[in-house]
Amino acid sequence: MTPITLPVHPLTASAFAPFGDVIEANPASMRLINGGTTERYHALARAEAAGEDARVIINIFRGAPRRFPYAVDMMERHPLGSQSFSPLSGRPFLVVVAEDEGGRPGIPRVFYARGDQGVNYRRNVWHHPLMTLGETADFLVVDREGPDNNLEEFFFDLPYIIAEPSP
Ligand SMILES: NC(=O)N[C@@H](O)C(=O)O
Ligand code: NI
pLDDT reported for residue 149:
96
**Does 1 have pLDDT greater than 90?**
no
**pTM for the whole thing?**
0.96
Q: Mean of the pLDDT values across residues 79-92? A: 97
- Residue 121's identity, in one-letter code, is Y
Binned at pLDDT 50, 70 and 90, residue 134 comes out as: very high
pLDDT recorded at residue 147? 94
Q: Where are the domains of the chain?
A: 8-162
pLDDT given for residue 167 in this prediction: 84
Q: Is 134 in the pocket of ligand 1 (CB under 6 A)?
A: no
- The CATH code for residues 8-162 is 2.60.120.480
C-beta 130 within 6 A of ligand 1:
yes
Largest CA distance in the chain: 62
For a mutational test of ligand 1's pocket, the pick from 143, 145, 153, i.e. the residue with the most ligand atoms closer than 8 A to its C-beta, is 143
The mean pLDDT value for 91-117 works out to: 98
d(CA 165, CA 41): 28
